[in-house]
Amino acid sequence: MCKEYGYIRVSAKDQNEARQIVTFRGLGIPEKQIYIDKISGKNFDRTNYLRLIRKLRKGDCLFIDAIDRLGRNYSEILEQWRLITKVKQVDIVVLDMDLLDTRQKGKDLTGRFISDLVLQILSYVAEKERINTRRRQAEGIAVALANGVHFGRTKKEIPDNFNEIVGQWRNKELTLDEALQTLSCGRTYFYKTVKELGI
C-alpha cells in the first residue's frame, strides 16, 4: 500500500518544526511517517533524511513545506529530486508551490513534467543569482582596491634592530622574553620572521 510521508528540516536557530508538523497532521500523515532533521541545509548528509529515503517505496508520496526545507544547494536538490522521482518512483509535493507536485492525474504525465521543468528553472535562477552575487562582490572589491582600500591585516614592518636583537638572543645575551619585549612582538611573529629572513 502506498504511503504518505512528511519531511521537515529546520536549522538549530530556526525552531519552527511545530507549524510544519501541524500542517502534515492536517494532511492525514501519521506522526511516525514525519521525519525531522535539525541541521543546516548545506548538504544531504542528514540522519533522518537518509532514513526516510531508505523507507520510501514506489508509489509513495513525500510532502515538504517548501523547497528550501529540502536543501539550499540547487544542484544537490536536483539530484535528490531525480533520485526520489525517477529512481525510487515516489511523488513529491511542495506545499508552498503548487507547480511542484509530481502526482499524476490518471495517465497524465503533465504534473511530473511541469514540476521537473519548474525545478530546473528555479535551479537556473538560483545559479544565476550566485554568479551575479560573486560578480558584484568582485566588482566591489576591484573598486575598493582602486580607491586604496586594503583588505586583511596590514603587514607588520620588521623593526630596524630585528637582526641585532636576534643575534643577541642567539648568543644568549638576551632571553626570548627580553627579545620579544624589546621588539614589541609575539613568539609567532618572531619565529616566522626569523625563518623568512633566514637568520
Cβ-in-10-Å burial (0-12, 13-18, 19+) of 100 comes to buried
Q: Check if the beta carbon of residue 8 is closer than 8 Å to that of residue 69.
A: yes
Alpha carbons 193 and 191: distance in angstroms, whole number: 5
Q: Check if the beta carbon of residue 63 is closer than 8 Å to that of residue 7.
A: yes
3-state secondary structure of 95: coil
Is 11 noted as a catalytic residue in this protein?
yes
Which one from 11, 40, 115, 123 is the annotated catalytic residue?
A: 11
Active site (catalytic) residues: 11
